[in-house]
Chains A and B, each alone.
Chain A
Amino acid sequence: MADAHDAPRQEHQILDADGQAVRDRPWIIRTYSGHSTPKASNELYRSNLSKGQTGLSIAFDLPTQCGYDSDDPIARPEIGKVGVPVNSLDDMHILFDEIPIEKMNTSMTINGTAMWLLAMYVALARERGVELSELTGTTQNDLIKEYLARGTYIFPPQQSLRIIAEMYEFCLEEIPSWNASNICSYHLQEAAATPTQELAFALANAISLLDLLKERGHFTDEQFERSVGRISFFVNSGIRFVEEMCKMRAFGELWDEYTRDRFGVTNEKYRRFRYGVQVNSLGLTEAQPENNAWRILIETLGVTLSRDARARAVQLPAWNEALSLPRPWDQQWSLRLQQILAYETDLLEYPDLFEGSVVVESKVEALKNDAREEIDKILGMGGVIPAIESGYMKSALVRSMSERMSAINTGEQIVVGLNRWTDGIASPLLGGEDGGIFKVDESAARDTIASLERTRAERDPAKATAALDALRAAAHNGESMMEPSIECALARVTTGEWAGALREVFGEYRPATGVDGQQLGLQGDRVDALRARVAALAERLGHRPRIVVGKPGLDGHSNGAEVIAVSARHVGFDVIYSGIRLSPDEIVQSAVEEDADVIGASVLSGSHVELAEQLFEQLERHGASGSIDVVFGGIIPPDDVDKLTKIGVKKVFTPSDYELIDIMDSIVGVIEARSEATADVT
């Protein structure tokens, strides 16, 4: 199969007997999936491919994404939860068992450890005797958006960009059909970016990357031009689908403009804006979850209707994403949506439907103008790295998120089933034996750790040590780390060892949180009333109520926690926001040293029960379990709410609790109840 990202348009057309084009070939149809173990994921992939899926999109678990072995203490609650664990090349062999990688377009959602996963994929090909030039696919590998929204970065920005650049330099000649990275605006929209921010931040990111490739001087002019052609994008598509379609046209036109004018790319082919899509999850609701099926369909139209701005690959979320990770059936239902749109409808029989539309053109122009202004601002700061390090981009996103939440809270932005038409008949889709949600088999983690131990026992330790030493030396001396990483993979070095060696050389990064100086637009009687209650509580306690907000575990989607931190200050709390990727020990130690009244923990990875247990163990150890309350927020299924309550969690907030003032009201209530109970005793 030709790489759809690369093929000229004609190859995208299906011809009749006379060689006349009758319709376009459909985009690559994928489902983002992976869970439990390499073996279970392999079975899932083979089943998806047999159902007509045309590419793979691999979800890795958080320890793999953050560079930890499965038996690392921080990894344990997360093994196999949001994706597949891959500890070594042995796991890669199982993951791709009976899947012909030379024929597969494989997309890997991997960032901090992207070079490592690519190295293992290359090593797999070498051991299987597959030519590297036959490999096609993508490593996501966009660290900028990790710092801004997704949180699975490991190293500081400079070093992260060096890794990305080295991958481009390796891939261009060795694996010419591989996209070394995918510039992501997807996650920015999940963090509530406006269309202008999505356009500007993603393009500024790509421009800064090309600036760097040029500056490093490894490429001849001809090679550089081809490397521009290797830049691809991963985009989001939201519910305002007309604007989204215009956004995609603006993306294409702006990219053409910048690659031509700034980088002097003469070959039109290398200026083409190539992108894949996952449609929006942020707008999916836990309330009346069946409505999400329509939302997903409409969002898909935004990126498929216009031929000139059509996605090269599409993957869809599942209707129940706000409830839990999707089951295979849920994913199949989303897959069928794509197949119906691509094969049943007449969409692919027409040229661009919007060419010449005055309305569309003027909207596209407006978006382009706003985006150019913002891009100039970022480039004026010296590019994306300074804009990340100063917290500029992060603050802009946290502001957008606060504005979005305010608009939903006031009803200005209508969300059906959530803040309008909220009464409805209960969904029969949630009635099955499993309650409509997916659960990871508990034995999976044991199997993963057992296979990791086997790898460690069976490998040649001297070879593994030598490979790691060579990697460290390359990192230190500024030589390319790609070949040493491949040698590490072949020597059965593990994921945690690879990342650990580079952590030693590069250090670990803690980015700006973006919550400083943020204001919430919420005003009114309820805010005033709540502030009065907080003030009264402060009088009674002798101090302002203190809340420690943090994200235990490896999940880095920090938007929810940040909005809670900003809201709590808005109503008068002293807030200790301790950031992401914390062990339960760290959060509890913060709460203990700060003498917090309450801990607010946010977990989206599905590990809430294990993490709550660990939090309470730690509180117990410090003798604080009777005096510091705990509340949880996240994607938490109803059954688990009971489990958390039994462990001792006082309140659990799920996506249906979107009213910030209600959440704050409830947290203030928890502290009030405690302060009254203590007053009774003394």
Chain B
Amino acid sequence: MSDADLVEAALALDKYAVSQLITLFEDRRATAPARRAAVLAMLDSRGAESDGRIIGVTGTPGSGKSTLLSRITVDLLDADASLSIAVVAVDPSSHVSGGALLGDRTRMRFVPDERRLFFRSQASDSDLGGLGPSSFQVCRLLTRLFDCVMIETVGIGQSEADVRHLADRVYLVLQPLGGDEVQFLKAGIIEIPHAFILNKSDEPSAATSYHHLRSSMWLARPFDETEPPIFRTSAVTGEGVADLEADMLGCVRSNSAAGLVEREPYFLARWVEDEWGRSGRRFLVDVLGDAAQYLAMCGGYDAAQGRFGDDFTAGFRS
């Protein structure tokens, strides 16, 4: 199938077409940026702008994120027949073989032939979790196709900070008395989310944990003008899930479009560092101005990615 055919089918949310386009946006070969630019241009010409909202859901393994998301996505789609959601679940990779076990699918509820719900796994390419190198790229595509993109990450520490740069709203999922509160305070991760989800609230220790979390807010987040919401949920009993869903829906429906273009400088800089190391990053800042300036000079993200290698090697020679 040609890229034009894929774009046509993907606009109708055909699963295999969407999936193959995601693969193009994850593609690390030198030929990929040009194809991506062409695909985005086709989508733009069809009026498919990147106006989907990005919701980040992060937390330690075992906090029940996937089960909760499984329930929420199905509920949201049931409630609104025009809504569409893509879930991108990022899992850690092995540093030895580079391979990854992407296991979140086992927790998702299977909805046959539902084009409005799409689920994709992604490897983080790092032991620590956090976003994958192509998570941003994939969002450039998916926000043009779906109303809402949910990014689920497993993280322990600063690798999670990336999520804040990508998502419109970030939720941190905690489980009762996992000792999570202390751990997150230490790692500074408690500063990241816009809202907290205390999951498994059917467990007896949930009330204590809730008060712990509440009382540590002022210490850990002196920058908050109003206290961030804490949703107490249970995927088992369904408790608190409706409130959380309403909060997420509020984000999806909001008009304050940040837009992915504003996020391009951060992720371009990140990409440069992934691919070319610190010297690449220094070259971007010291020689090319900074990421934003370079993007403007090249005329877009794909062009910048396409050119950077040549500019960098040329810069070294001169």
Contact = CB atoms under 8 A, between A and B. Distances in A.
Given A543-B27, A578-B105, A594 B99 contact: no
A589 B19 contact: no
B129 to A, nearest CB: 12
Contact of B97 (A570, A579, A585): A570
A623 B98 CA distance: 30
B45 interface: no
B260 to A, nearest CB: 22
B28 A543 contact: yes
B23 interface: yes
Contacts of A570: 94, 97, 99
Contacts of B102: 574-577, 594
Contact of A569 (B23, B27, B94): B94
B121 A576 contact: yes
Contacts, number: 104
A137 B27 CA distance: 60
A565 interface: yes
Interface size class of A (residues with CB under 8 A): 35 or more
A572 B94 CA distance: 8
A267 to B, nearest CB: 37
A270 B92 CA distance: 50
Nearest to B27: A542
Contacts of A542: 23, 26-29, 32
Interface string A594-632: 110000000000000000000000000011100000000
B97 A569 contact: yes
A623 B120 contact: no
A510 B106 contact: yes
Given A513-B103, A542-B27, A594 B110 contact: no
A127 interface: no
A623 B16 contact: yes
Given A565-B101, A575-B99, A577-B106, A595 B29 contact: no
B101 A575 contact: yes
Nearest to B19: A595
A576 B105 contact: yes
B255 to A, nearest CB: 30
Contacts of B61: 516
A539 B98 CA distance: 13
Given A569-B94, A585-B112, A586-B110, A593 B119 contact: yes
B118 interface: yes
Tell which of A516, A571, A585 has the most Cβ of chain B within 10 Å: A516
B20 A595 contact: yes
Interface residues of B, number: 34
A628 to B, nearest CB: 9
Interface in A510-539: 510, 513, 515-516, 531, 534-535, 539
B94 A513 contact: no
Contact of B103 (A507, A577, A593, A595): A577
A531 B19 contact: no
Contacts of B103: 513, 515-516, 576-577
B164 interface: no
Interface string B102-137: 110111001010000011110100000000000000
B23 A515 contact: no
B106 A592 contact: no
A622 B9 CA distance: 12
B258 to A, nearest CB: 27
Contacts of A577: 101-103, 105-106
A302 to B, nearest CB: 36
Nearest to B104: A576
B9 to A, nearest CB: 9
B106 A513 contact: yes
A543 to B, nearest CB: 6
B291 interface: no
Contact of B112 (A513, A516, A573, A589): A589
A594 B120 contact: yes
A650 interface: no
B221 interface: no
Nearest to A390: B62
Contacts of A595: 16, 19-20, 22-23
Given A390-B62, A578-B105, A592 B19 contact: yes
Contacts of A516: 61, 101, 103
Contacts of B18: 593
Interface in A541-589: 542-544, 565-566, 568-579, 582-583, 585-586, 589
A539 B29 CA distance: 7
B97 A574 contact: no
Given A585-B112, A589-B15, A535 B99 contact: no
Contacts of A624: 16
Interface in B295-314: none
A590 interface: yes
B100 interface: yes
Interface in B1-46: 15-16, 18-20, 22-23, 26-29, 32
Interface in B236-280: 236
A594 B120 CA distance: 6
Central interface residue in B15, B29, B99, B121, by most chain A CB within 10 Å: B99
B27 A593 contact: no
B123 A544 contact: yes
Given A542-B23, A543-B28, A571 B106 contact: no
Q: Name the 6 nearest CB pairs between A and B, nearest first.
A: A542-B27, A569-B99, A579-B106, A595-B19, A572-B97, A572-B99
Given A515-B103, A516-B103, A589-B112, 9 more contacts: A390-B62, A534-B98, A542-B23, A542-B26, A543-B27, A574-B123, A579-B106, A590-B105, A595-B20
Interface of A: 390, 507, 510, 513, 515-516, 531, 534-535, 539, 542-544, 565-566, 568-579, 582-583, 585-586, 589-590, 592-595, 622-624
Interface of B: 15-16, 18-20, 22-23, 26-29, 32, 61-62, 93-94, 97-103, 105-107, 110, 112, 118-121, 123, 236
6 contacts: A539-B29, A543-B27, A573-B99, A575-B101, A585-B112, A589-B110
